[in-house]
Amino acid sequence: MGQMVDLNLSGIILPDIRGSPLATLPDLYEASVVELQAGLDAGQFTSVDLIKAYFARIDEVNLKGPQLSAVLEMNPSALAQAAELDKERKLTGKRSMLHGIPILLKDNIGTVASEGMNTTAGSFSLLGSVVPEDAGVVKNLRKAGAIILGKANLSEWAHFRGNIASGWSGRGGQCTNAYFPHADPCGSSSGSGVAASIGLVAVTLGSETDGSITCPSSNNNLVGIKPTVGLTSRAGVVPISDHQDTVGPIVRSVADAAAVLSVIAGKDPNDNFTLAQPSPVPDFTKALNPNALKGKRIGVPRKVFLNDSISGNDPFVNVAFEAALDTIRGLGATVVDPADLPSAEEIAVSNNETFVLDVDFKIQLNAYFAALLKNPSGVRTLAELIAFDNANPALEEPLQFQDQSQLIEAEATTGMNASYFQSLADDKDLGATRGIDAALKEFNLDALILPAPGLTTVPAAIAGYPIVTVPLGFYPENVTIALAGPQTVYPAPGVPFGLSFLGTAFSEFDLIGFAFAYEQKTQTRLARKAFLEAIPKTQLKDILASN
């Protein structure tokens, strides 16, 4: 068959066993949607091959080796679906850029039980539960020809259970980062972040209420888009709050994020917040302009957010951030510094967000339980969930993971009373009116920029506004390692952190452009790989050789 020659570090060269000339197969650690689609179109490999390769890669590192615990379960129907989509590609061509592309969902995003997967938010109380239909974003993905590869581990109840380490769930245990042994993956979309970081799948979806896409993207050297609340449907997603919840991509490049967002965005009659979005949904891939920052005004909200004594950030983060500002100036933008949020100090001490989320969570989780067609645990309310956890300590309250204070606090709320509506109004005022929008207007800005760690996600969370996060840097070898949880550390040498672009409602197109320009100039993601044991070895060539 001829000798294998490795001519290119980014790809694996081998004689194409389907008869065409020597071809480069994409390296699955880094492979983009565009590269995978090109290989599928050229007949170099099939979606069935891809699924087999990703299943094998998950098997290497998820429960074996470094035991990253990123994936909760794999879709038993994935191979059959891939075969159908391969057939369709041959007959009628591809439906979209996501045709035949495997996607891992955070395990709070609902999928129909007939497919053979659970939707549990990481909790045994939802094991075997039957949702009435696919989540809105899943319907969009299926229409586009994407394949659901499986469900990712997460911080249980999207980190709305209590004072418990990020990335832990009863069902999945402690998910850990692939860049340093036992490092904090952040959450709540922990498994989505870890899986995307080392190519256990092409694309992942996460959800964010406050930080849950941005932080795992930051900690795992990834690109994450936290969309404006109402750009992507939350129908069929285990809720915290319809005022803040939003679903978005966690991937390896801005181009992939743009392609995925173009598919999952849009109106959904099952989520009335989506009905207010501008029509039509933009093709976000048209925002991928390396000169997008030229002539733009980018503001730095220094007050509070860049104060390490308030943010809790390691000083090294700000060192990397200052260098990023120089890069952005070099790309033709005017950096307006400082461009403070008038509400910054109030945001740092406000308790409005917690109160609103507590009230919303109780009402909306009870409604979610009530809508299930079946739930074998018998749990139908938040009160019953708290009792279930206490009655099943081996499953849900192992040593050092017992806390349910957030659930208990939410259960104690008494509905949407006057204090609730006042807190909701105050959130909008602090986050939007006297927050992000005030700064954008006062300084005539196109966007704001901050390091992703710290309090960066809070103004956007309470305003319902978007954030696009890209890789910024890695902690130095001499960083002081600190405990993040009973089994996790942060910061740690080589652990990544990100850079976040923030804007007003539905400004994703512009933010994607700015993030793309920065990413293309810096290529930070490629500067460092995961620790050796956490890098899966299986590649497409191995699957093709065994076919």
Active site residues: 106, 188, 212
Structure tokens that stand for 158 in this block: 């999207």
Structure tokens that stand for 229 in this block: 């609340």
How many C-beta atoms lie closer than 10 Å to residue 175's C-beta?
A: 35
Q: Are 148 and 105 in contact (CB under 8 A)?
A: yes
- Taking the C-alpha atoms of residue 309 and residue 306, their distance in angstroms, rounded to an integer, is 9
Place of tokens 């004689």: 15
β-pairing, 496-502 vs 467-474, is antiparallel
CA distance to 83, 164, 476, 494, per residue, from 485 (Å): 42, 8, 21, 19
Q: Are 175 and 185 in contact (CB under 8 A)?
A: yes
- Taking the C-alpha atoms of residue 496 and residue 365, their distance in angstroms, rounded to an integer, is 34
- Taking the C-alpha atoms of residue 405 and residue 394, their distance in angstroms, rounded to an integer, is 18
Least Cα distance to 264 among 207, 222, 214, 219 occurs for 207
Q: Are 27 and 13 in contact (CB under 8 A)?
A: no
Q: Which amino acid is at 324?
A: A
- Taking the C-alpha atoms of residue 525 and residue 222, their distance in angstroms, rounded to an integer, is 7
Q: Are 285 and 255 in contact (CB under 8 A)?
A: yes
| Contacts of the segment 9-17: beta carbons below 8 A, 24+ positions apart | 12/539, 12/540, 12/541, 14/541, 14/544, 16/44, 17/544, 17/545, 17/547
Stated as kind and residue range, the H or E segment containing 367 is helix 352-371
β-pairing, 334-336 vs 297-299, is parallel
User: What backbone torsions phi and psi does residue 334 show, to the nearest 5 degrees?
Assistant: -90, 120
